[in-house]
Amino acid sequence: MATGSTPEERDALPLDEAGHGQSAGVPAAATVEGNSYNPLGDPGIRHWQASHISKPGFEERGNIFFAAIEMTRMPMVVTDPNQPDNPIAFVNRAFLDLTLYKEEEVLGRNCRFLQGEQTDPHTVDEVRRALREERAVAVDILNYKADGSAFWNGLFIGPVFDAEGKLLYWFASQMDITRRRVSEQSYLQAQKMEAIGQLTAGLAHDFNNLLQVVAGNLELAGSSMDDRELLGEAIERARLASEKAGKLTQQLLTFARKQRLEPKRINLNSLVVEFSEMLVRTLGDKVDLHLDLKPGLPSCTLDPTHMEMALLNVLINARDAMPDGGKVTVATSIMDDAERLERHRLAPGRYVMICVIDHGEGMSPEVVARATEPFFTTKGPGTGLGLAMVHGFVQQSHGRLDIESTQQQGTTIRMIFPQAAKTGFEMMAERAGGDSPKWTPEAILGRRTILVVDDSNEVRELAEQQLRGLGYRVLSAASGEAALELMDRYGSIDLLFTDIIMPGGMNGLRLAELVRARQPEVPVLLATGYIDSLPAPIGGATTLPLLTKPYRLNELAERVRQALEVDQRQHPAAGFQHEG
């Protein structure tokens, strides 16, 4: 979607007097192109985004211009904003051919009758906002014909004023772009499948290497039981390899399907360092990766996997901009001065910034303006991993994406995120003098009882050991039915920690509903290794927290602590009944 100039901006622009006294217009000057379909193939300079006429009305229909409007194959509409509900005052024959309506069925009606069940309400809001502000607008919108069939409408709307600047009419031209939209979706899907093939080939290579590390070190550990030091080293190497394998799997899932964000407190310096090995492989031998990381960088709240993929996408663009090689710098810094925040249109506060700097071919201002548009690329067919995904992720993370580029000099891309609020532990540690006290769950919460449910014996036993090591009482069950029997036997629990996908007739979501029917306020923490199975709200509550497998002990401890901390003020620790 793109909008034209504001009334104030139009007043400062010269009028095009091509109408020889009967009409004049404000040139488009490339201000209303945006993401919508553009039949010109470029932003357009000379055509008008707003017009001024001296003779309003539709009485004079005997001239060549009226004949041309009726002869053109482009549907056209004129509405009258000076009548209630801005009704249609004129349509040409091409509009009737497109929509399958009769003229008497559309005159006097607001254009919203073309909208339907799957019309994007955000697009409708963008159009309404432009109309309120009396500025041109161009959008792609899903509309419906008289027979109920849907079509994608490439819609341009512009205002028509009288000589004194009063709004008289809205003019709209339209075009059926359904075939183009379908073709684009097919092309994107083909790109994505090609990219998945490229990505999975590399992942398979890395994954086999990691499996070799895990298997080899476990075998080494089995034969080194008497050498405690060697045993510990082998186990640590296997653990690190399994952690990397989990990250590879998450990256593949992130690329292959839409995932909801799972924000966590992360430090961008740590993320860049841990991810640097993959970044170096991505850049190849011709490109040198340099890190300029600010010491003491504060944390921010982001989905780490999506952040890694966003950084990877930006670096792929930087690599492609330097076909002969060069240097790419990944830098981090803090932004909190008022002048810079205002320049980036950010609210006052403290922000963390990560930027990627290359010295490649750079982009023209026109390309920079469109760089984050879906489907827009200056390269040939590629992986489909572009700045549109990066822009969406940054916006969803309440951040700002900034692109600065000069042709033949290079590009700097900045991702700016709000600093994360300090945790209660951090504030308590600061008040205690900066030393990190050993805040145990038992010291803070007392002995709490957690019901662990997972059909995998290995995963369930590991969770039991981890939670008991943190000071919790633990009940465990291999199925939802067994979990409910345990509750009937032992009484109330303080937290349900359950896998989502389990064999049989009861998954984790259904179990959570039944547990809350018995104990309405009990916190629930879900776990899954398959992120596509998203938890739905239960009983009108907010979405349940989700822990993605594989998880680390500190992640489990923090998520359990958060769940119990919410419940602590409202409910005293529930009694624990031992069997017998």
- Give the pLDDT confidence of 196-206 residue by residue, as tens digits: 565 556 566 66
- How would DSSP label each residue in 456-483? -HHHHHHHHHHHHHTT-EEEEESSHHHH
Alpha carbon of 158 to those of 27, 161, 283: distances in Å? 11, 10, 46
Helix (H, G, I), strand (E, B) or coil at 506: coil
Helix (H, G, I), strand (E, B) or coil at 407: coil
**Cα–Cα distance for residue pair 412/351, rounded to 1 Å:** 18
Helix (H, G, I), strand (E, B) or coil at 413: strand
User: What are the beta bridge partners of residue 358?
Assistant: 328, 411
User: What are the beta bridge partners of residue 139?
Assistant: 155
pLDDT in tens, 464-473: 888 888 888 8
What is the torsional sign of CA 452, 453, 454, 455? positive
Say which range, 29-38, 67-76, 104-113, 345-354, has the weakest mean pLDDT: 29-38
pLDDT bin (cut points 50, 70, 90) of residue 368 is: confident
Say which range, 81-85, 265-269, 342-346, 408-412, has the weakest mean pLDDT: 342-346
Whats the size of the chain, residue-wise?
580
Question: What's the one-letter identity of residue 50?
Answer: A
Residue 571 has a pLDDT of 47
pLDDT in tens, 498-545: 988 877 668 888 899 999 998 988 999 998 876 544 444 444 444 678
pTM of the model: 0.38
Instruction: Work out the average pLDDT over 270-282.
Output: 82
